[in-house]
Structure 1
C-alpha cells in the first residue's frame, strides 16, 4: 500500500508515475481540499477574469487507474513505527510507503486587525473563487508583499480595472528571488506605469476597521484606505502534523536528493520538502511548480526501488502586464549583477555571477536568456562577464 498525503501537483505526479512505472498495488491519495489536484499558477493570472477547469486530471482518470482519492481529509499525525497516518476524522490509513506532500500554508501577519473581515490570503482555488466574488463590489485593494504572487495579483487586478496599492517593506520587490536595484527599479516602473500604487519601504503596522478592514496603517503613521487586503508575505511548510513522528523537520521536511526522509520508506516532495540539491551542495526548499512535479516523480520511482535524484535547476515564470518574466537559478545575495539587453523597452536580463560561475538569471521578454541560463547553470560552465556586456547576450 502506497499512500500520498497532499492534494497538490507532487502527489498527482507521484500517482501518475507509479502507475506508469508498473506499480499495481493499492494506491491512496489524501487531500484536504474539496477538489482533486489542480494547477495553481493560473489562479493569480487568467483564472480571476476567466475561470476554467484547472484539474490536473479528472476524477474518473484516478478511478480508472485505481487511485483511491479521499478529499476534504486532513492528516493530523504520523506513526512511523506502526506505519499509519491518522486523519482528522479519526480514520487510520496504513501504508508500506508514504509520500508527504502537504505543501505550505500562507503566513498571516501577527499585527492588530489581522483577523478583520476582508483581510485574506491567497493560495487555493477556494481563495481564488472567494476573491472573484469580492471583486464584484469593485473594492479598493491593498496587497501586502511584493513577491512574485503579490506582483501577479496586482497586475491581474489592475488589468481588471481595480484600484490597487501594493506595499512592500523592502527597498525592492522580488527580494527573495532577485535582490537589488537592477531588477527592482524596472519592476516598480512597470507596475506604476500601469496604475499600481506600488510603495517600497512600506512596513505595515496594523489593519484598521470596526468589523471589516477600512485602512492599512504603515509604520510612519500613513493610512491607506481600502476595502480588501490580500496578505502575500510568504508561506510556511505544512509540517505541524509531523510533530512527534521522529521525521526530521528544518524549515520543511528534510530529505536527500532522492526525496527520502529520515524515516525508512517515508518520502517528501513539493513545497513541504527541503531537499539536498547536488547543484548547490546544500538543502534548499524550492516553492516552484516545476520542481514539485520533478520531486513527485522522483519520489515515486525511488519508492519502486530506483535510485534517482532531482537535479533540475529551480525556475519560476510570470506574466505581468503582457511582459514575460522568467527567473532561473538561485540568488544568494553576494553575486555580481550584470544588466544587459534593452531595459528601456523592458526587454532585458540580469545575470548574477559568482566569479565566472552563473548562479541565476532574471529575464524579461528574453526567453533565450532563460534557456541559456538553465544550460550554463546545469553544466557549471564558466561565463565571461565582459563578453556578456560586449555582446549583450548570454551564451
Structure 2
C-alpha cells in the first residue's frame, strides 16, 4: 500500500510543530514541509525582544528544532521553496519551478506579511519592518547608541522595538494615529500604563499623528508628519500590523475571510485542506465566533491540533488566546479575548502606578480576558474565570486580599459572600 503523503506549506512554528506532532503520534507516511524563507523553521518572539538587545538571546535558540532533527525524523524540509498553486481536484501543490507534489492531506501555515505604508519614500533604505530573522538583523544593526529611531505604530511590535532601542541608547520617537498606545485593545486606563512606562524611559510619543512622507537621498534621514513636523531619523521601523498570506488559498477557491476560514478542528472548506497559525480564522466554541490570532501561542498549539485533525482524530481547537510582552522591567501576559465593544468594565486588582496588577475585561460581570503585569503564576486562575462563563462579584475580583480561586460565580456564592466584610 502506497504511504500517505502530508504536505505542509509554511515552515514556521506552526508548520514545524505540526510535523513534529505527526511523527510523535505515529504517522509513518511522508511529510513534506515547504518554506519560502531560506532558514529552517524558527520562532518569532525573540525577533522583537532578545535579539534586538544585542546578546541577551542566543541566535540558535530561535530555531524550533536542531538542524538535524528533520532528516532524523524523515521530514522532507525544503527551504527557499515557493508554492504557487493548489490543484484541489488532483490533490497536488505546484512549486515555482513547475514541480508538483501530491498530497493526501494539506496544511496551510503560510503566516502573515507586514503592512506597508503607501507614502512617498517608503522604499528608502533604512525604512524597515520586523517579521523575519533577516528583518531582526537589520533592525538590530540600526539600533545605534545615539542614533535617531522613529517607530511608526504603537502596537506590541512597535513598543517592543522602542524598548529595545532605548536600552541600546537610541533616541526614539513613536508616531501613532490614536491618542494612546494599544488603545483599541486595552482601553484608556491600561493604555496609559504603557504610555507612561515608555515616557519614563525617555521615549517621545507623537499621538494623533500620521506619516506623510519619508525623506532622504537613497537612505531615510527624516519623517514628515501630516502637520508638517519633520522628525530626524537614522532608521524607521514600521509596525502597523500584518495581513494574512491567503493568496494561495484564494486562488484555490477556499473560503477566505480575514484569513482561511476553518472550523473548530481547523478544517477548511475543502475537507483535505487545513490551516493553522496566523492565517487560520478558526471557529472558537467558547466565544461562539471565528477568531484569527497573530500570536506565538496560536502557532505553537494550532499546528499540533491541525496535525491530529489531519490524522482523523476528533479534536477541538479551543485554547484561550494568549500572548506576552517584555518591555524594560515590565513583563505581561494576556489571556482571553475582549475586542473593542466586547466588554463594558475593566476591573483592576493591584497597583497601576507601581505596574504590579491584574486587569480584567468583563461583560455583564463575566470575565472575558485578563492581563497580569509583573504578577506571575496566575494564568491558570485567569483561564478558569474566563471558562466559567458566568458573572462574578466584581468587588471580590478587584480585591487582592481574596484569592482568585475564591472569586466564584455569583450563583455559586452564598447571598452575602464578599459583602459582609465590606459593610
TM over 0.5: yes
Give the aligned partner of residue 13 of structure 1: 17
Whether contact under 8 Å (1:144, 1:231) holds in the other structure is yes
- Which one of 22, 26, 41 corresponds to residue 45 of structure 2? 41
Question: What secondary structure is seen at the aligned counterpart in 1 of 2:251?
Answer: coil
Give the aligned partner of residue 338 of structure 1: 347
Distance 1:218 1:378 in 2: 45
- Which one of 381, 393, 400 corresponds to residue 384 of structure 1? 393
Question: What secondary structure is seen at the aligned counterpart in 2 of 1:367?
Answer: coil
Distance 1:250 1:156 in 2: 35
Unaligned runs of 5+ in 1: none
TM-score, structure 1 normalization: 0.96
Give the aligned partner of residue 168 of structure 1: 176
Give the aligned partner of residue 33 of structure 2: 29
Question: What secondary structure is seen at the aligned counterpart in 2 of 1:177?
Answer: helix
Q: CA deviation at 1:34?
A: 1.2
Whether contact under 8 Å (2:145, 2:169) holds in the other structure is no
Unaligned runs of 5+ in 2: 408-423
1:88 and 2:96 aligned: yes
Matched ranges for 1:281-296 at <5 A: 281-296=288-303
Tell which deviates more after alignment, 339-348 or 133-142: 133-142
Give the aligned partner of residue 130 of structure 1: 138
- Which one of 332, 348, 357 corresponds to residue 357 of structure 2? 348
Whether contact under 8 Å (2:33, 2:76) holds in the other structure is yes
Give the aligned partner of residue 253 of structure 1: 260
Q: CA deviation at 1:89?
A: 2.3
- Which one of 157, 161, 169 corresponds to residue 153 of structure 1? 161
Give the aligned partner of residue 225 of structure 1: 232
Give the aligned partner of residue 374 of structure 2: 365
Distance 1:265 1:107 in 2: 30
Q: CA deviation at 1:263?
A: 0.7
Tell which deviates more after alignment, 380-389 or 257-266: 380-389
Give the aligned partner of residue 107 of structure 1: 115
Distance 1:383 1:24 in 2: 49
Q: CA 1:392 to 1:252, structure 2 compared with 1: closer, same or farther past 3 Å? A: farther
Q: CA deviation at 1:138?
A: 5.5
Aligned CA RMSD, in angstroms, stands at 1.6
Whether contact under 8 Å (1:247, 1:261) holds in the other structure is yes
Matched ranges for 1:39-78 at <5 A: 39-48=43-52, 49-50=54-55, 51-53=58-60, 54-78=62-86
Q: CA 1:392 to 1:80, structure 2 compared with 1: closer, same or farther past 3 Å? A: farther
Spell out structure 1 runs of 4+ moving beyond 6 A: none
Give the aligned partner of residue 279 of structure 2: 272
Q: CA deviation at 1:211?
A: 2.0
Question: What secondary structure is seen at the aligned counterpart in 2 of 1:19?
Answer: helix
Question: What secondary structure is seen at the aligned counterpart in 2 of 1:298?
Answer: helix
Tell which deviates more after alignment, 63-72 or 208-217: 208-217
Q: What is the number of equivalent residue pairs in this alignment?
A: 394
Q: CA deviation at 1:360?
A: 1.0
Tell which deviates more after alignment, 41-50 or 374-383: 374-383
1:298 and 2:302 aligned: no
Distance 1:298 1:119 in 2: 37
Question: What secondary structure is seen at the aligned counterpart in 1 of 2:47?
Answer: helix
Cα displacement string for residues 111-143 of structure 1 (whole angstroms, at most 9, x for unaligned residues): 122111111110011111122233358531111
Q: CA deviation at 1:391?
A: 4.2
Larger radius of gyration: 2
Question: What secondary structure is seen at the aligned counterpart in 2 of 1:352?
Answer: strand
- Which one of 216, 228, 241 corresponds to residue 223 of structure 2? 216
Distance 1:24 1:177 in 2: 44
Distance 1:11 1:391 in 2: 41
Distance 1:162 1:89 in 2: 44
Distance 1:259 1:153 in 2: 32
Question: What secondary structure is seen at the aligned counterpart in 2 of 1:360?
Answer: strand
Whether contact under 8 Å (1:79, 1:85) holds in the other structure is yes
Cα displacement string for residues 162-200 of structure 1 (whole angstroms, at most 9, x for unaligned residues): 11111111112123532x211111111100101111232
Give the aligned partner of residue 421 of structure 2: none
